[in-house]
Chain A
């Protein structure tokens, strides 16, 4: 356990070095946030607004999305891990006396958290200071706030667990080209990062309830803004935890099978 804590610390501090990239990220998030807020408000002027997603809720949702953009990005393409798989450096990792699955997950999670901490505060301040109607509002209730905070943490772990399954598939294909970006696009659409799920046609919303993707950002943000009431949010949180456990087990099983088959050529 202590070993994983130190891996977390190393990766965290390491990622914190990249401040300039983060500042640029903040500017990008703010510009995109403003753009989406105005775009969707223009759509909302037409009427036919989804009843569980008011204009104020929608605007807060969009700002949360920008604040936690890196946190909820569907896949963290860690160059180090991809390189280990593609080039065979994985053999060094395998001789270490710790589980590769845990090692990689902790690395991914630490980098995710560090990148988010560097970016979300300036966007938060900007969004809070904006006037009512175009800015971020306070959470729907104290309960909604704490539940969404819990959802936020579980979501991060769930995304990492899903990423681990993707990395296991990389053992088979040996090339990350194209595959990661296809995954990103599809996961963004199905998780409601491209357009918020309440705006989608009803039949698609029903399908998405049965997929893991929306139990990340969509659940977290909509619990916060009160678009999902506390009672159903609690049920969905249970489903979220269920998906997390499923993906952890799946990832570990796949990983063990892959590691048994790894052949490293000398060199």
Chain B
């Protein structure tokens, strides 16, 4: 498949600049470990927050870091769509016999983000291991659903940001409020925050669907149901449908910057 050829190519490109790759890998790892350490300090003092313990919050931290960094790695082309428009690179995408979606996906892959993916995965495995309950097949399925859903949601946000770039030409800082902000917000189960804020991130941007809703099922919280909580990641993934069509529609409105 063409995508894997690109994957290999990006990887080879990377190996040409080994030192800078390892340095950025190192810095990504330190960034995520420091975030975890500061969370540990808080729980050292306060023990629980809104009924969640450190080992439970560690799961939401690991899930959101995994999803965000994974998307940043493979969806980098959408994240840097403004550059593609400014340099005129997008113009050449239009004349090639592949979909623009496919070409954008292939245009950039940022492997250095894998440092954070690995740290997040390690934290996730550790946090799962120290949970007091035994893992049934249903809970493993919910956890995998959460990971997939998070990736799909962040990817959709990147795609919506890219669609906006077509009209604004410049990259929009406001998009970062949702992507980076979402990453920070979802480190904790969303019901830590006031109800209004939690509702916005349940129904408008469905962060809750890979965050506290399935987590309530995971930890057998009172009131957790299969339909409302365990299957929440499936509902959350639906955001990709409008996001994809908005992206397709915005491409029809593209005017070249004339470079």
Residues on A lying within 8 angstroms of B by beta carbon are 20-21, 24-25, 27-28, 31-32, 34-35, 38-39, 42-48, 50, 175, 177-179, 181-182, 185-186, 188-189, 194-195, 199-201, 204
Number of interface residues of B (CB under 8 A): 35
In-complex Cβ contact of B193 among A25, A35, A178, A185 (8 A): A35
Do residues A201 and B44 form an inter-chain contact, with CB atoms below 8 A?
A: yes
Which residue of chain B has its CB nearest to the CB of A50? B45
The 17 sampled A-B contact pairs (Cβ below 8 Å) are A20-B170, A24-B172, A35-B181, A38-B192, A39-B192, A42-B50, A50-B45, A177-B24, A178-B26, A181-B24, A185-B27, A188-B34, A189-B37, A194-B38, A195-B42, A200-B45, A201-B41
A200 to B176, CA, bound (A): 29
A42 to B42, CA, bound (A): 11
A65 to B41, CA, bound (A): 19
Contacts of B40-58 to chain A: CB distance below 8 A? 41-42, 44-50
Cβ-closest 4 pairs across A and B: A24-B173, A178-B23, A178-B27, A194-B38
Do residues A189 and B174 form an inter-chain contact, with CB atoms below 8 A?
A: no
Which applies to chain B's interface (DSSP): helix, strand, loop or mixed?
A: helix
Do residues A189 and B38 form an inter-chain contact, with CB atoms below 8 A?
A: yes
How far, in Å, is B44 (CB) from chain A's closest CB?
Answer: 6
Given contacts A31-B181, A39-B193, A201-B45, 11 further A-B contacts (CB under 8 A): A25-B173, A27-B173, A27-B174, A28-B173, A35-B181, A35-B185, A39-B192, A43-B42, A175-B20, A177-B20, A186-B34
Residues on B lying within 8 angstroms of A by beta carbon are 19-20, 23-24, 26-27, 30-31, 34-35, 37-38, 41-42, 44-50, 170, 172-174, 176-177, 181, 184-185, 188, 192-194, 197
Residues of B within 8 A of A189 (CB): 34, 37-38
A25 to B173, CA, bound (A): 8
A186 to B181, CA, bound (A): 21
Residues of B within 8 A of A27 (CB): 173-174, 177
